[in-house]
Amino acid sequence: MKKSEDIDIKNHDPRDPNPWLAMYLDNSIPINKKTKVALMRDNDSKSGRYLQPIIRITSKIAMFFIHLFKFFLPRLFNSSKVLHKILAWGLKHFVSKDANLLIFRHFHVGSEVLEFIAGNIEGVSVKTSPIKPHDFNDVKDDIFLDHDLNLYNFIINLNKELSLKGKTVGKAEKLNLSMISEDQFDHIEFPDKWTNILDLRSAIELFTPFYQLFLTANDFERASNSLQLDETIAIYTSQILGTPGHLGLVNNKHPMVPTSTYSAAYRLVLHGLAAETLHEILVNLKLGISIDGIMTPPS
């Protein structure tokens, strides 16, 4: 399944059905079309099949020894700038076109979801810090670290405002969807050379030890635990929309109970999927498509 046209019912073999064709054709989970194609191709890539199991085991072993190393020498190698230069270089030269699209889209989608929440709570003003990278140089500006910091700071500042003004997150009388874009993400061209072979999960597994090595233990653990805030963001959104229906799409849950950093790579992919599905629900609302009885006119 190397090209989008290969994801077609015409290629269905009843004796050997492709699971990713089934997922592509199924429309029960709302998701951006281009994202869905990229994710299904990424799942079916040779890197995902053959490299990922080896990289996953190697990554866990490296993380164990880095954990011991950081215990005895916690301040050595702490450099977010060096980390992000490594990440930018790795993304550009070794990560597949599909995986890069999914990674870059995530920052845009996540920023718009936070802007939606901030813009739909009456009487509360919370400043957001959107992160919307357009090239690999933008990655060098600490965007992975800032992404986690923004999420925690948003929740802290939002609830501080709610407490000071005696407000609660509730159903919006009139939804503001001006910040939600119906973007298919065609404005960024990602490299597709012979070295760009790593699928999304392999890339995350490979980069996670570098993340652990070059960040402080506090930064690394906070980044891992931030994934469980998917539930918090989904709850805010459901309160604004007045429907809990889409909460079932969230798998990273219970942010008050931290889980192991060794599962961060898998949970990061779930985090990306949760953001994409939530964003697509908002896109559908903007386009006037009914969601759980909510109907808004197209803008």
| Mean pLDDT, all residues of the chain | 90
Whole-number percent of the chain with pLDDT over 90: 75
Token digits of residue 203:
């890339």
Q: Residue 237, Cα to own-chain centre: how many angstroms?
A: 16
Asked whether the beta carbons of 268 and 290 are under 8 A apart, the reply is no
Q: Residue 165, Cα to own-chain centre: how many angstroms?
A: 31
- Side chain identity at residue 228, one-letter code: Q
**What digits encode the pLDDT tens for the residues 53-92?**
999 999 999 999 999 999 999 888 899 999 999 999 999 9
Which candidate, 276, 188, 275, places its Cα nearest to that of 232? 275
For residue 5, name the pLDDT band (cuts at 50, 70, 90).
very low
Q: Residue 200, Cα to own-chain centre: how many angstroms?
A: 11
- In this model, does residue 3 exceed pLDDT 50? no
For residue 7, name the pLDDT band (cuts at 50, 70, 90).
low
For residue 247, name the pLDDT band (cuts at 50, 70, 90).
confident
pLDDT number for residue 290: 62
Residue 218, Ramachandran bin (φ over 0: left; ψ between -120 and 50: alpha; else beta): alpha
- Side chain identity at residue 148, one-letter code: D
Q: Model's pTM, two decimal places?
A: 0.91
pLDDT number for residue 299: 46
Q: CA-CA distance, 104 to 60, in Å (whole number)?
A: 25
Asked whether the beta carbons of 21 and 11 are under 8 A apart, the reply is yes
Long-range contacts: 219-223, Cβ < 8 Å, 24+?
Answer: 219/80, 219/145, 219/148, 220/261, 221/258, 221/261, 222/148, 222/152, 223/144, 223/145, 223/148, 223/264
**What digits encode the pLDDT tens for the residues 101-123?**
999 999 999 999 999 999 999 99
pLDDT number for residue 11: 75
| Distances in whole angstroms, Cα of residue 68 to Cα of each of 72, 74, 212 | 7, 9, 11
pLDDT number for residue 1: 41
pLDDT number for residue 294: 54
Q: CA-CA distance, 135 to 92, in Å (whole number)?
A: 9
pLDDT number for residue 2: 43
How many CB atoms are located within 10 Å of the residue 71 CB?
9
If you average pLDDT over residues 193-220, what whole number do you get?
96
For residue 18, name the pLDDT band (cuts at 50, 70, 90).
confident
If you average pLDDT over residues 164-178, what whole number do you get?
94
